[in-house]
Structure 1
Amino acid sequence: MKARELKELDSKELQERLDTEVDNLAKMKINHSISPLDNPSQIKESRKTIARIKTELRLREINEVK
């Protein structure tokens, strides 16, 4: 998910996406430790997506305070 797409969503949707991504990442890590994933770079992409979502939420939080 691109940063441009994240800016279009409201904060509630972003929080829901964040929760979903964190759950998916945990599941992928567990599955990868048991048997290797077909595409282990999915873990890396999931971490990046989580970081993008957290960054956007933090930017919104900072802008609300100002």
Structure 2
Amino acid sequence: MSPISSDLLAVLRCPVTGSALVHEGEFLVSSVTDSTGDPVQYSIDEGIPVLLRPELLVAATEAGSDEHDGPAKK
């Protein structure tokens, strides 16, 4: 796992709660809980934070790449 730089971590925010993210093991975790009372966890893929809500990540992973890639813009 590649570490997340402190400069990048300083500017990243949780897209669900708007809170700062904390690097915990193989995840970035929101510093504020969501509406269910739990912190939101985001995976890190080859050093790149994947800031998709967990339920959206499952849907994006299950969809074929041609299903979620929009048409090319000119």
| TM-score above 0.5 | no
What TM-score, normalized to structure 2?
Answer: 0.22
Q: Which structure shows the higher helix fraction? A: 1
Q: Which structure shows the higher strand fraction? A: 2
Higher RCO (C-alpha under 8 Å, 6+ residues apart): 1
What TM-score, normalized to structure 1?
Answer: 0.24
